[in-house]
Structure 1
Amino acid sequence: MESKWGWATGEGLLGMDDPVEVDAAFERGEPYLGTAVIGLAFNCSLEEASPRIVRAMQLPDPGQRGFAFTAAGAAARLNGALTPELYAALREEGPGGFAEHAIRDTLTFVPFRQLPPWFKRRKMVTRTRNKLESWWLRSGETVGNAWNTLRRRR
């Protein structure tokens, strides 16, 4: 029986809505599993997509691993929550790598009260850093404006 999914080319996998098909593709070692789990994030429940997203985060191909983290970010955006397994996988990868944008999406779209402790600390650090950077940039503008005013008065 011919599959309706384009596993050889990746075509149509963003429309993936069959978790069982993705499980079978993992067993076959198909090349576009990261793309398929993005489709699952869009088209299936978080509970159905989560274990497959976590599994795709362990793929050897860096491109497909990156897509798995994109799927986690999409799941956070769409559901306003993640599963404990996804939180753990994002924490394990940490900021600055593949998980950077997924962590940012999680901090943006999941309510603070629903975040696990590590993510709450990360949100507080990020907020503080952003505020300090904002103050620093504004003070630089103020000093620059004052300097320009003094130069014009001479």
Structure 2
Amino acid sequence: MIHAAAGAPEDDDVESVDLDWERGGNLNHCREPGDVDAAFDRAEEHVGVALIALVYNHPDTDAVLPRVARGLRSPNPETRRQSLLALMHTARLHGRVDATTVELLHGLLTDRTPISAGSPYEVRGTATQTVGDLQAFLPPEQLPDWVNHFSDY
């Protein structure tokens, strides 16, 4: 088990939370970018869940977005899907994304990989939803033209 702080990073009286990587328990308390990096390095099955939690629990978008980009590049389609959700939440909660994650999103619009074995849902479906969220939560001047003119027919 890995320990992560459950309070503000600058809080010295923070209670430690066991992050259960095996079952995915308590990953919603993940707040440290280093915990997500280590989970990626170990190819943890539930790293995408921790990444979404990081978006909610870590105030520094500059620290979060490189991890989102790493997830968008993952060989695991479920991790890519969860990373797209993390990108949506980053736009909604923090009001910005970066050029790297937007370009990776663009590539995932053609990703026909099922999100899990036997699933009818493909990564590209979540990518399409992510574009819609970027359009809804970010001003057009922050987005490339392809996002501003994208529509799902």
Q: Above 0.5 in TM-score?
A: yes
Alpha-carbon offset, residue 33 of structure 1? 0.9
Q: In structure 1, what is the equivalent of residue 62 of structure 2?
A: 47
Cα deviations across residues 10-36 of structure 1 (Å, max 9, x unaligned)? 111122110011111111221111111
Structure showing greater radius of gyration is: 1
Cα deviations across residues 81-136 of structure 1 (Å, max 9, x unaligned)? 111111111112127433111111101000112212221222xx57xx8xxxxxxx
Q: Say whether the 8 Å CA contact 2:71–2:79 is kept in structure 1.
A: yes
Indicate yes or no: 2:71 matched with 1:71. no
Indicate yes or no: 2:50 matched with 1:36. yes
Count of residue correspondences: 125
Residues 1-154 of structure 1: pairs in structure 2 closer than 5 A: 3=3, 4-44=18-58, 45-94=60-109, 96-122=124-150, 125=151
TM-score, scaled to structure 2: 0.73
- Return the structure number with greater strand share: 2
Identity in percent: 30
Alpha-carbon offset, residue 79 of structure 1? 1.5
Q: Say whether the 8 Å CA contact 2:2–2:35 is kept in structure 1.
A: no
TM-score, scaled to structure 1: 0.73
Q: Relative to structure 1, is the Cα distance of residues 59 and 2 closer, same or farther in structure 2, using a 3 angstrom cutoff?
A: closer
Task: Note the residue ranges of structure 1 that are not aligned, 5 or more in a row.
Answer: 130-154
Q: Say whether the 8 Å CA contact 2:28–2:50 is kept in structure 1.
A: yes
Q: State how far apart, in whole Å, the 1-side matches of 2:73 and 2:143 are.
A: 23
* Counterpart code for 2:71: A
Cα deviations across residues 41-74 of structure 1 (Å, max 9, x unaligned)? 1112221111111111222332222111111111
Q: Relative to structure 1, is the Cα distance of residues 23 and 114 closer, same or farther in structure 2, using a 3 angstrom cutoff?
A: same
Alpha-carbon offset, residue 37 of structure 1? 0.8
